[in-house]
Amino acid sequence: MSIYQGIKQIMRTTIMNNKVKAAILSGVMAAGLLVATTANAHPRWVLPSHFTVSKEGGDWLTFDVTASHGTFVFDKPAGSDKAQVVMPDGRTERPNFVVKGKRRSMFDFYFEEEGTHKVRINNEPTYYTQYKAGRRDTVKWIKATKADRALVLPEKARDIVTQISFTRAESYVTVGKPTTEAMKLDNTLLELKPLTHPSDILEGEPVTFQFFFNGKPQAGVTADITREGTLYRNHQEQIGVVSDKEGKITFTPETAGRYLMKSNYKGELKDHPLAEKASVNVHLTFEALLQ
Q: What is the pLDDT of residue 56?
A: 92
Say which CATH number the domain at 247 has: 2.60.40.10
pLDDT tens-place string over residues 198-240: 999 999 999 999 999 999 999 999 999 999 999 899 888 999 9
Contact by Cβ (8 Å): 49, 171: no
Contact by Cβ (8 Å): 95, 46: no
Domain presence at residue 100: yes
In order along its 291 residues, the chain shows pLDDT tens digits of 554 454 345 445 444 444 444 444 444 444 444 443 433 467 899 999 999 999 999 999 999 999 988 899 999 888 888 899 999 999 999 998 899 999 999 999 999 999 999 999 998 899 999 999 988 888 999 999 999 999 999 988 999 999 999 999 999 999 999 999 999 999 999 999 999 999 999 999 999 999 999 999 999 999 999 999 998 998 889 999 999 999 999 999 999 999 999 999 999 998 899 999 999 999 999 999 999
Domain presence at residue 131: no
pLDDT tens-place string over residues 230-242: 989 988 899 999 9
Domain presence at residue 9: no
Helix, coil or strand: residue 39: helix
Instruction: Residue 92: give the domain boundaries.
Output: 36-125+163-288
Could you give the CA distance from residue 193 to residue 215 in angstroms, rounded to a whole number? Answer: 11
Q: What is the pLDDT of residue 41?
A: 61
Q: What is the pLDDT of residue 39?
A: 36
Domain presence at residue 271: yes
Q: Quote the pTM value.
A: 0.84
The continuous run of DSSP H or E covering 22 comes out as: helix 3-29
- Find, among 184, 21, 47, 34, the residue nearest to 106 by Cα: 47
Q: What is the dihedral of CA 64, 70, 82, 63, to 10 degrees?
A: -10
Number of domain units in the chain: 1
Q: How far is CA 106 from the centre of its chain?
A: 18
Domain presence at residue 168: yes
Domain presence at residue 223: yes
Helix, coil or strand: residue 196: coil
